[in-house]
Amino acid sequence: MQSQMKESDPILEVENLSASTDNLPILKGVSLAVYPGEIHAIMGRNGCGKSTLSKIIAGHPSYNITNGDIKFLGENINSLEPEERAQSGIFLGFQYPIEIPGVSNLEFLRVSTNARRKFLNKEELDTFDFEELVKEKLEIVKMDHAFLSRSVNQGFSGGEKKRNEILQMALLEPKIAILDETDSGLDIDALRIVASGIKKISNSQTGIILITHYQRLLDEIKPNYVHVMSDGQIIKTGESDLALELEKKGYEWTDNFIKET
């Protein structure tokens, strides 16, 4: 990774991270630092470990960190619970958002928003104030109010699920958002809505990690850095043109990097 002097401290630092599940190593020494205002893209074949990286940063209980550290705003968060990470401002947009039958979307959004607000020492919102807030945020993702009364993600189309993820991001106002294949399964209109939503929510104080296979999301949101992952490692890091080159030459091209290293 190229060294460059940064003015502020990083939001998220991943240092030489190795992790496994069921004794199977998945990550083999990943390092990454995201500074305020930066957008990073992580690309790579299926199974290269990029989704796993996002889950580990969010604290999924099925993975064990075997080596290395995850630091958020300078603090080591290796042993924090997933909810503590979320409350402090780490957001994971799921590749496959989970359906939770019976739990109303509105209630779910309210409880999570208030958990974050409590952490920020902000006043918790009652049902009415929350309705107001949601209405405003629904605009960002162009979602209908009716979505709120349904069960969390249940019966949502692929596009609706992804928009619901961005809605949650808008409500939680994270410091860093890791968006795992948020572009997959979206048609071009939905992709634009999602991309513009992400741009609206992010600012010079926040960081974003986009995990994706395709260039098309990166056409909408231009990343500062592009990382290519393979077999649990980042094998190449470049600027946004790396993604274009990758699109042109395919992942076989990156296989050479492994040989080089």
Partner 1 sequence: MEIIEKIKTKQSQDSLTEIQKICLDKLQPSPLPNPKSEQWRLSNKSKFSNFLNYPFNEKNPKFDTPFPKSSQSTIRLVIGDSCQFNLIEENYSIKQLSEDKLVKYIKEQISCFDENENWSDLLNLSLNCTKNTLGLKINGSEIPPIEIFSHASSNSLNAKTLIIFLEKNCDINLLQVNLGKENSSLSQSTFFFLEENSSVNHGVVSYGENKSNLLNSLNVIQQNNSEYNLGSLHFKFNFARFEIRIKQSEGNAKTNIKSMQITKKDEQISTFTKIDFNGPNGFLDQINKSLADDKSHAIFEGSIIVPKIAQKTDASQLSRNLLLSNLAQIDTKPQLEIIADDVKCKHGATISQLNEEELFYMRTRGITLTEASKLQLSSYFQEIISFIPVSKDRWDLLDKLLQEN
Residues in contact with partner 1 by CB under 8 A are 58-62, 81-83, 85-87, 91-92, 94, 97-98, 100-103, 107-108, 111-112, 115-116, 119, 151, 168, 172
* Integer Cα distance of 8 and 19 in angstroms: 29
* Integer Cα distance of 166 and 226 in angstroms: 22
Q: How far are the Cα atoms of 19, 25, 80, 127 from residue 58, in angstroms, in the given order? A: 13, 18, 9, 28
**Closer residue to partner 1 (CB): 59 or 207:** 59
Q: How far is CA 163 from the centre of its chain?
A: 14
Per-residue tokens: 120: 């920020």
Shortest CB 15 distance to partner 1, Å:
22
Contact 46, 91 (CB under 8 A): no
Q: How far are the Cα atoms of 156, 179, 188 from residue 172, in angstroms, in the given order? A: 21, 14, 26
**Closer residue to partner 1 (CB): 104 or 224:** 104
* Three-state SS at 39: strand
- Inter-axis angle of helices 251-260 and 240-249, nearest 10: 110
**Closer residue to partner 1 (CB): 17 or 86:** 86
**Closer residue to partner 1 (CB): 87 or 254:** 87
Shortest CB 72 distance to partner 1, Å:
14
Shortest CB 134 distance to partner 1, Å:
14
* Three-state SS at 102: strand
**Closer residue to partner 1 (CB): 103 or 244:** 103
* Integer Cα distance of 166 and 143 in angstroms: 10
Shortest CB 82 distance to partner 1, Å:
4
Shortest CB 16 distance to partner 1, Å:
24
Residues forming beta bridges with residue 180, ordered by sequence position: 211
Residues forming beta bridges with residue 39, ordered by sequence position: 208
Shortest CB 146 distance to partner 1, Å:
19
Shortest CB 119 distance to partner 1, Å:
7
**Closer residue to partner 1 (CB): 98 or 188:** 98
**Closer residue to partner 1 (CB): 60 or 216:** 60
